[in-house]
Amino acid sequence: MPPPTFPSVNGRPLVLGHRGASAEAPENTLAAFRRAMELGADGFELDVWRCASGEAVVIHDEDAARTGQTRLRIGRTALSRLRELDVGRWRGELFRRERIPSLPEVLDAFPSAVVNVEMKSGHVPDLGLALEVARTIRRHQAEPRVVVSSFSAALLAVFRALAPDVAAGYLLAPGALWQARAAAAVRLLRPAAIHPARQLVTPARMEAWGRAGLRVLVWTVDDPSEVERIAALGVDAVVSNVPGVAREAVRRATGR
């Protein structure tokens, strides 16, 4: 089987809104994703957990305390109950009654957007989440425009086995053992991409990742000068809370 296709545009990195345009709208909502596209993003990054009724739902935290003002745990609550929560009001009255979307709802609402789906994981990975994400992508025929990522090697391993035709990326955060984790993940998982935090991106590492055949998606880059630096190194995608600002910085760095 040929390697999975990593979404791309000609001559410049993709610009993806981090949880949508989360500097302007409540994160991980349809409003935030819509605003990211309005600002010229190629798509957006989002986070998913599997709820008690089995669906992949779009929210960052393991519970709804921060964005929904309730401590309901996502994995113990059915979608019908989660949909009752208002996850927009915390960002102002303009966003009152924004709801937690499901992954199918997002893919339906934005059929041309590139979507980076981050599978979230607690101490014990929910391997059923990988199955549900793979099923959803296949059902929506979204394989060419989706990248699936996770900090969990177990989740990515299951997803890679279920959906070898979808690009998968291993997330990297700064820390004492990040290089050892990265090397092990690349060797064992053979992902299409590596998703490092911006602090980890250097010319030497870009060269090494390129030699390994890895695409590079960088998170989360808001400072325009840092976006320009990273874009000039030849990364494949930049994730930003301010996708309009990032898009302009990419244009300055690449001429596109």
Catalytic residue among 60, 123, 140, 195: 60
Question: pLDDT by residue (tens digit) across 232-256?
Answer: 999 999 999 999 999 999 999 999 9
pLDDT tens digits for 193-227?
A: 999 999 999 999 999 999 999 999 999 999 999 99
Question: Which contacts qualify for 227-233: CB closer than 8 Å, 24 or more apart?
Answer: 227/253, 228/252, 228/253, 229/253, 230/13, 230/198, 230/201, 231/12, 231/13, 233/201, 233/203, 233/206
Do strands 43-50 and 114-119 pair parallel, antiparallel, or not at all (unpaired)?
A: parallel
Q: Give the start-to-end residue ranges of the domains of the chain.
A: 14-254
Active site residue 18: yes
Rounded Cα gap, residues 113 and 37, in angstroms: 8
Tens-place pLDDT, residues 134-158: 999 999 999 999 999 999 999 999 9
Residue 223 CB partners (closer than 8 Å, separation 6+): none
Which DSSP symbol is given to 201?
-
Give domain 14-254's CATH architecture: Alpha-Beta Barrel (3.20)
Q: How far apart are CA 195 and CA 238, in angstroms?
A: 10
pLDDT in tens, 88-136: 999 999 999 999 999 999 999 999 999 999 999 999 999 999 999 999 9
The amino acid present at 91, given as its one-letter code, is R
Tell me which of 18, 123, 140, 195 is the catalytic residue.
18
